[in-house]
Structure 1
């Protein structure tokens, strides 16, 4: 039986690199493992040497990596076929959360199915970019105006349902992931300018009618944390003290006085970057940012090499969502952005957000390693 050239190249590539037989990308795997190892070290230190927390963190990492491998096996053609159904199911879940979701820490964000309790908004971080990429890939790019309007409507619907929980941070992140798809689809500057004007014009409406008091206080604290140094501005001030006191080389492993003396809130999750900066200094921060930069660069390379518009748009959006995670978290703990409660990817202690992130990487690897088996659409 005659094998055409793309199939021969696929067989050759799989024989040459064992990881490709499992649809995994070697460079991404190494970078993700390096970030995970560094994160585990900082989590252990931030927890004050809590071995049980470290073991839970490592177990969650193992589960997340396993899920990444599973999603890497899904052929992009099958993913594309089922994308609208997945998106519809997640929308129904978000509506169910609004109607009868579980409460926790003053917010209604969880669905309890008996055997599992989860946040559908986490799934939407992947489902929305997939849906918009599926929509725009139906035609040549840039997409027609009707598809752009429909895409903006889907973003507004999704973000609105999540804001109602309330979870403004996640809503902003998901909306950004959708807007990235629209941007990479070839959105004209006229549309970009119009959107910026609309967003700026709607800020007073959002402030007065859609933001809760604690969210408004976060913005006011961001603008002037010293106005209430022992109240709402306390945590940001302590975070900046931790970052600044690290200096060039840091205080060393387990040397974070801000975390160990409980000056920092959520030192193992939202504010873990502050612990990292205090203990490992500017050198450690530079290493961390370099690792993130390499992951983003590799992801954008995969997006650029994608074989069709669906894979290209989804890959680019998922990679830029990682960038938003990193940018917002570091900006938040440095006092450059309001506190919105987003973890630092692969560094913070956590479960659901880590799994969602690894699903994204699994899809990236699937697009990259399956591409020679696909017939190009555009």
Structure 2
């Protein structure tokens, strides 16, 4: 035993857990959040108010939440997965009954000090529930039809409730993340082939239903699809967001216009510049270099999660960590694709960068679960 190993073994258990935290992951999360603080300061015209200051406070609170969750053994989080999942479903039902309405959607519960968006919480509790289910299920039953039906219900229940808000973007993320966990758990590929065929049929039905009595999507969602296919068809209406976003992205060039020098942002041509379209602000001011740097940090966070998953020996820890990594990837992948015109505008925030309370705190809690798996993984004596 080396001197350092002796010193680690000699400290109290609580302090030893702090030493065993995945500190590179903490530094990466702080680096991404710093991008957000910088951009929120910029879009406010060089002021910490009204966005940067609350965001910094939420991130500090998020760090406390992450560290608190990390100190609790991972088996505890496995045992409460069902309770957390059912609680998030109850919150989604509460949104349906008396939720706050904003921008044409009913997605929030107003707590006074915070507008809670239960769909954000559901993204994590659903992954926890699926990981706990496959941890309990014997390997030989994973691909049997009856046992495949259970995780489908786990995924489709919150998806249906989120679609009613309506929030198509979050519903798609829930289904994709849930399918990713099922695939990693070892469900036979034939089921996924059937789902892909069904999705193709559903897309065809969505277009066929437009303008009929059985229309499957809201009118504004069809407008988003039209805008995605041809933004120039309505450049001052439904296509305005993506048109201005592309102008900002293109004007940034290789190194950008400079901090607080973006014309699209400063002249308020770019809508939702502090939330869903904040990446375009970054790309305009810091160019390709800035955008690629943020993407590199996101990639390193995914790699850190994968390394933690490979280092754990219990099925729940590995599946839950990989499920969180998939969810995190979908967050920034969909957002970046959306603002670049590669995907329809679906209202998905850029993780840890876009202004928002629920998304920030829930994501930090999710990384607390990753840290708990890392801290409490088996180690050589």
Same fold (TM over 0.5): yes
Q: 1:370 to 1:279 in 2, by over 3 A?
A: same
Deviation string, structure 1 residues 206-261 (Cα, Å, up to 9, x no partner): 55333111011001100000111121112211111111111111111111110111
Q: What residue in structure 1 maps to residue 155 of structure 2?
A: 155
Q: 1:115 to 1:269 in 2, by over 3 A?
A: closer
- Determine if the alignment matches structure 1 residue 322 to structure 2 residue 335: no
Moved more, 10-19 or 76-85: 10-19
- Determine if the alignment matches structure 1 residue 246 to structure 2 residue 252: yes
RMSD: 2.4
Q: 1:327 to 1:116 in 2, by over 3 A?
A: closer
Give SS of 1:372's match: coil
- Determine if the alignment matches structure 1 residue 297 to structure 2 residue 303: yes
Shift of 1:277: 0.7
- Mapped to 1, the partners of 2:186 and 2:36 lie a distance apart of 36
Q: What residue in structure 1 maps to residue 186 of structure 2?
A: 186
Q: 1:11 to 1:93 in 2, by over 3 A?
A: same
Q: What residue in structure 2 maps to residue 21 of structure 1?
A: 18
Residue correspondences, number: 367
Deviation string, structure 1 residues 283-303 (Cα, Å, up to 9, x no partner): 111211111111111111111
Whether the 8 Å CA contact 2:32–2:353 is kept in 1: the answer is yes
Q: What residue in structure 1 maps to residue 268 of structure 2?
A: 262
Whether the 8 Å CA contact 1:46–1:256 is kept in 2: the answer is no
Q: 1:148 to 1:80 in 2, by over 3 A?
A: same
Moved more, 353-362 or 108-117: 108-117
Aligned pair partner of 1:339 in 334, 341, 345: 345
Q: 1:365 to 1:211 in 2, by over 3 A?
A: same
Whether the 8 Å CA contact 2:143–2:186 is kept in 1: the answer is no
Whether the 8 Å CA contact 2:114–2:357 is kept in 1: the answer is no
Q: What residue in structure 1 maps to residue 101 of structure 2?
A: 103
Shift of 1:9: 9.3
Aligned pair partner of 2:75 in 77, 82, 86: 77
- TM-score (norm: length of structure 1): 0.91
Shift of 1:187: 2.2
Shift of 1:168: 1.0
Task: Give unmatched runs, 5+ long, in structure 2.
Answer: 210-214
Superposed, which structure 2 residues align to 1:1-378 within 5 Å?
A: 12=9, 20-21=17-18, 24-52=21-49, 53-112=51-110, 117-141=115-139, 143-145=142-144, 146-206=146-206, 208=209, 209-372=215-378
- TM-score (norm: length of structure 2): 0.90
Shift of 1:110: 2.2
Q: 1:245 to 1:14 in 2, by over 3 A?
A: farther
Give SS of 1:371's match: coil
Give SS of 2:253's match: coil
- Mapped to 2, the partners of 1:113 and 1:293 lie a distance apart of 34
Whether the 8 Å CA contact 2:163–2:171 is kept in 1: the answer is yes
Give SS of 1:37's match: helix
Q: What residue in structure 2 maps to residue 376 of structure 1?
A: none
Shift of 1:16: 12
Deviation string, structure 1 residues 31-84 (Cα, Å, up to 9, x no partner): 111111122111111222122222112111111111111111221111111111
Q: What residue in structure 1 maps to residue 212 of structure 2?
A: none
Give SS of 1:210's match: coil
- Mapped to 1, the partners of 2:7 and 2:129 lie a distance apart of 28
Give SS of 2:343's match: coil
Shift of 1:108: 1.7
Give SS of 2:109's match: strand
Whether the 8 Å CA contact 1:14–1:20 is kept in 2: the answer is no
Moved more, 219-228 or 73-82: 73-82
Q: 1:320 to 1:107 in 2, by over 3 A?
A: same
